[in-house]
Amino acid sequence: MTTLVTGATGHLGRLVIDSLIARGAEPSSIVAGVRDVAKASDLAARGVRTAVVDYDRPETLAAALDGVDSVLLVSGSEVGRRVAQHRAVIDAAKNAGVTKFVYTSAPKAPTSALVLAPEHKVTEELIAAAGLPAVILRNNWYTENYAGDLAQARETGVLSAGVGDGRVASASRADFADAAAVVLLEDGHIGQEYELGGDVAWTYDDLAAAIGEVIGRPVEYRALTPEQHAAALEAAGLDAGTVGFVTALDAGIRDGALADTDGTLARLIGRATTPLVDGLRAIA
C-alpha cells in the first residue's frame, strides 16, 4: 500500500511520516507531497518518495497520486482559500481511484460556530459528494499553538485572552499525527468521523499555571472582554481583519467549541495524550 501525505514538510505532515515509519511502514511506500521538493531532502534521504503537491496547481496532483492507494489531506493553512485548494486534491484523488482518503478537519465541523469550521464543513461535504472511501479526523487544538503565548508570558508574566472560562481539549501534534498514522495503516476506519481531543479539557487558568511551571515564574491569566481584547490587538498593530478573526476565535473557545473530549484520540493511539505541561515544555 502506498500512502501520500500532503503538506509533508509542515509540522503535522512530518510527524505523520515519522509515525508511519515507526509503526512499520516502509519509507518507500510513503509519498511526501510538498510544494518545494528541495525542502524535503531529509525525507528523501530516509527513502521516502517526494512529489510536488501544490494545492493551487491542480496539474501537479495526478503525478503525485500515481500508484497511490491512500491519501492524507492535511488541511491547508490559507484561511479563505482552502475550499478550492482541497477540492483540487479531492477531485484528483477520485480520478486516481484511491481506496482511503483521510482528512484533518475541525471539531464538530458540520455544526460548529467556530470561525474556522465553515471551510472544513464544505470540504467534508465535497469528500462525501465525491464518493471517496474516507476517514474524517476532527482535530482539536494543537498545544503547540500556544508557543506565542508562552513566549509572551516569559517576558511579561501575563497570559491575556478573551476566552473567559472556556475550555480547550488540546493535545500535542504528535498525538494527532499518531492518530492519522493509525487510520492510514489499519483497516476498519472507513466511514468514521472521529472527534479527537486531549484527555483533559483545561481552562486558561490551567494554561497560565502550566506555562508558569515550564518557565519557572508565576503567570497571571487576565480575562479580557471582547472589546478589551480587540483594543489590545489593535494597539499591537494588527489589522482589522486579523483582529476580527482572533476575537471571533476566542469567542468560539469561550462558547465551548473546543471543550469536548471523550477519549477517542487516546483509544486510537493506544496511550494517554500528552499532558498540557509536557506539550508546553517540549516547545519551550
91: left (phi over 0), alpha (psi -120 to 50) or beta: alpha
Q: Do 232 and 148 share a domain, yes or no?
A: yes
The whole-chain average pLDDT of the chain stands at 96
Q: Do 100 and 50 share a domain, yes or no?
A: yes
Coil, helix or strand at residue 47:
coil
Name the DSSP letter for residue 273: P
Q: Do 40 and 126 share a domain, yes or no?
A: yes
Last residue of a domain, one of 117, 139, 161: 139
Q: Is residue 182 part of a domain?
A: no
Domain that holds residue 43: 3-139
pLDDT tens track for 61-106: 999 999 999 999 999 888 888 999 999 999 999 999 999 999 999 9
Q: Is residue 191 part of a domain?
A: no
Q: Do 91 and 229 share a domain, yes or no?
A: no
- The pLDDT assigned to 193 comes to 98
pLDDT tens track for 159-172: 999 999 999 999 99
User: Is 0.85 topped by the overall pTM?
Assistant: yes
Neighbours of 186 (CB within 10 A): 11
Coil, helix or strand at residue 55:
coil
- The pLDDT assigned to 76 comes to 87
Q: Do 145 and 123 share a domain, yes or no?
A: no
Q: Is residue 87 part of a domain?
A: yes
Domain count, the chain: 2
Q: Is the pLDDT of residue 175 over 90?
A: yes
Q: Is residue 115 part of a domain?
A: yes
* Backbone phi, psi, residue 281, to 5°: -65, -35
Q: CATH number of the domain that 22 lies in?
A: 3.40.50.720
